[in-house]
Structure 1
Amino acid sequence: MIHILESSEDALVAYLKELRSMTQQGEPKVLEARVLLMSHDIPERLFEAWSFRSIVASSREQLDSSLSQKKAATGCLSQLLGLAVHLRKTPKANLKNAMDLLSERVPELLPSEDLLTLLLQHETYLSVEDFLSLYYSELSFVEDSELVWPLPSHVFPYNN
């Protein structure tokens, strides 16, 4: 199952917190979730209207288990972006019909179940709990200039 959430950062974090609390209370609506991407400052929505469809995406190709995490995520996101572009080009009058026939007309834009399973198995992509703990943790980093000793006396050459 894929959820694409397009909203403000506050609304997305509130949704993830609600998902985490449902899981902690023992009544999860989603058994396992990973956060693949959270983007900021997007000029316009990709999917203009809320909708859902239950689609069984057939496995078009055998996925190699050594497929890198980066290629798997990039492939999945590329397919979803291609789906958004396809739906955007569809006239609104035909949108319902186009959504019903996605698996027949554009199967190459639907991520396969094997690809989604592969992404869920990678520990690189954060679970909801891990994402929220990282989101709320303090940012601590060391600047390169703090690691140089002794401090450089003249950084720029001076021509007298």
Structure 2
Amino acid sequence: MSRVDHHAQKANKRTNPLESLLMPQVPRNNYLHFQKEKQRLHLKKFLIDRIFLVANIPANTTRKDIAEYYEHTFQSIMRQHIGETVTGLLLIYPTVILHILESSSGTLFKILLDYVNHEKNDKEFLIQGMKIIVMSHNIPSRLFLQWQVSVINVPVTYLDDVTQSQTLEEVITEFLIQTHKLGLNLFKAVKVGTKGPGDNLQQVSPELLLPEQIIKYLCKAERFLDPATFIKMYSGPIHISLDSEVVWPAPTHF
């Protein structure tokens, strides 16, 4: 073998590793991606609705009280609606809460009904004056892979109170934009099987958190339905006889 051929073989050996890197690689999903996709497929088993709720809470209400109430409610409902997982986000401010829930329409109806029963029978119930801001039916995908709770202790900034300068429609638009941005941020950041940011949410995404005065403003707005009124409409008959349709005397059939 000539010295030229020998050097050519060495050059080819040195370029092989580079060529292997430049060759198209077959994409491979890791185990975390597999678990996330498995969770998503499981959560798509039923038609999913999403509901946005706001409510007042007494000053002495703790995170533990509210979280335990909802966890107990979810467990009780899941025994009847097997497999219909509840996901979402509960933000607990000093005097109000913002609650986003995702599940089947039947499960969400049961959660609202449980609240209405407590509201009727307990004048000092820990959640008061709840309002339904919006309910979206048959959403294409969930924003949340689990149900999370976060305590928000951001001080009230009265100088930036947009409720004094904006219309209700503008406040609602900002409310929905910010909550969806927050949901998307958590969807990307929270991994399957983890507990999420918890009470550190205000350090993780402070710019996406709504000010407390906006939640309080929406709680007072008369435009939104309370759960009792919503359930009454939900359970009412679809076909209603108008006065113009009633004939008197009633026709006699022979």
User: TM-score surpassing 0.5?
Assistant: yes
CA distance in 2, matches of 1:97, 1:18: 27
Match of 1:40 in 2: 137
Give aligned pairs, total.
Answer: 141
Segments of 5+ residues of structure 2 without an aligned counterpart are: 1-96, 241-254
1:17 corresponds to which of 113, 119, 129: 113
Equivalences for 1:59-138 in 2 at 5 Å?
59=156, 61-90=160-189, 92=191, 96=195, 98-138=197-237
2:107 is aligned with what amino acid?
A
Provide Cα deviations, 1:40-76, integer angstroms capped at 9, x if missing partner.
1112211111111111234452224352222212211
Aligned partners of 1:113, 1:66: CA distance in 2, in Å? 16
- 1:93-114 superposed Cα distances (whole Å, 9 cap, x missing partner): 8x65744432123222111110
Task: Describe the shift of the 1:56–1:133 C-alpha distance in structure 2 as closer, same or farther (beyond 3 A).
Answer: same
Superposed CA RMSD: 2.4
Unaligned runs of 5+ in 1: 142-160
Are the counterparts in 2 of residues 35 and 126 from structure 1 also a CA contact under 8 Å? Answer: yes
Most deviating of 96-105 and 46-55: 96-105
Distance 1:46 1:101 in 2: 19
- C-alpha distance in structure 2 between counterparts of 1:3 and 1:64, whole Å: 20
Q: What is the CA-CA distance between 1:116 and the residue it aligns to?
A: 0.4
Structure 2 residue aligned with 1:3: 99
- The structure with higher relative contact order (CA 8 Å, sep 6+) is 1
Cα distance in 2, alignment partners of residues 22 and 105 from structure 1: 34
Of 62-71 and 102-111, more deviation after overlay is shown by 62-71
In structure 1, how many angstroms separate the alpha carbons of the residues matched to 2:134 and 2:227? 12
Identity of aligned residues (%): 28
The answer on whether the counterparts of 1:35 and 1:125 sit within 8 Å (CA) in structure 2 is yes
- Supply the AA of the counterpart residue of 2:102: E
The one-letter amino acid paired with 2:111 is Y
Shift of 1:29: 3.2
Identify the structure with the greater strand proportion. Answer: 2
Contact kept in structure 1, 2:148 and 2:195, CA below 8 Å: no
- Larger displacement relative to structure 2 (11-20 or 68-77): 68-77
For 1:72, the aligned partner's letter is: V
Specify the SS of the correspondent of 1:53. strand
- Whole-angstrom distance in 1 between the partners of 2:156 and 2:113: 33
Q: TM-score, normalised by structure 2?
A: 0.50
TM-score of the pair, normalised by structure 1:
0.77
Q: What amino acid sits opposite 1:51 in the alignment? A: Q
Task: Go from structure 1 to structure 2 and tell me whether the alpha carbon gap of 1:70 and 1:139 turns closer, same or farther (over 3 Å shift).
Answer: farther
How far apart, in 1, do the equivalents of 2:197 and 2:112 lie?
Answer: 30
Q: Which structure is larger by alpha-carbon Rg, 1 or 2?
A: 2
